[in-house]
Amino acid sequence: MKLSSSFRIIVPVILLGGFLLLYETVWGSEKDGVKFGKWQYLFRASSKAIGTKPLPPKSKIQPLKDFVITGVYEKDVNRLNHVICDGQWGTSRGVLRQISGRAAAIKLGHEKNFELEAGVDATGIGGWFLLFGYDDGHGYGIYNVTLKTSGSPWFITEFRNKKGVAGSDYEIGRYESRGKEALKLRVIGNKVSMSIGNRLLLDEVELASVHDGDIILGTYDTQYGPKPVKIYGIRLRSVK
């Protein structure tokens, strides 16, 4: 898949003083006339924090208790299956991560046209997902599972009534995380772009119908357990 002229990664991610700094990135807004508002910083890691704690009540990130979603491959032990979020996210040594349960989800915002950037460390085996335009059980999701012997495939799928739509789940690429990297998701109209590290997974791929909805990040159980993903920073901005 080629990197389009309207999609450039300038500097992916650096760590400084315990905080994640994401340099400005161009995702086509210079040429397609899209104007965004200011970045809203949802989370920044702290090198001074100790211990493990749940998210505070005033956090910009909303924990989702008892969140349930079912993928197309409901009974598969590794693909996005019947996900029951019995756990929770919190901070451990200042880093955002799942701190309990076999699956857990958090709401990052509610948008239609937006850009999301996060500094993540998704090394290790297991599964995790990112939903967007998710409203009343309808929306889209991108998920990744890293296996011991079969690589690290990424998939995209559509949901209706909290269930994966038959025939909508397909692989978009393979990439295994190499430590702290920038994850970027951009949704404008029905077109979606996504990258992690230097790997472009989606480049303005047009979906059938993306609506205003929740942006949800989560982990799900596999034969190896959930992905032990760590998040060092998250920011979000919407179209003006």
pLDDT digits (tens, 9 = 90+) for 142-181: 999 999 998 999 999 999 999 999 999 999 999 999 999 9
Query: CA angle, corner 74, sides to 168 and 54, nearest 5?
Result: 100
The pair of structure tokens assigned to 220 is: 């799900």
- The whole-number pLDDT of residue 20 equals 43
- The whole-number pLDDT of residue 154 equals 98
- The reported pTM is 0.89
Q: What is the mean pLDDT of each run of 10 residues along the chain (240 residues)?
A: 39 39 46 84 94 95 96 96 97 97 98 97 97 97 95 97 97 96 97 96 96 97 97 95
Q: What is residue 199's DSSP assignment?
A: E
- The whole-number pLDDT of residue 18 equals 37
- The whole-number pLDDT of residue 150 equals 87
CATH superfamily of 14-51+61-238: Exo-inulinase; domain 1 (2.60.120.560)
Full DSSP string of 56-104: PTT-SSEEETT-EEE-SSTT-SSSS-EEE--SEEEEETTEEEEEESS-E
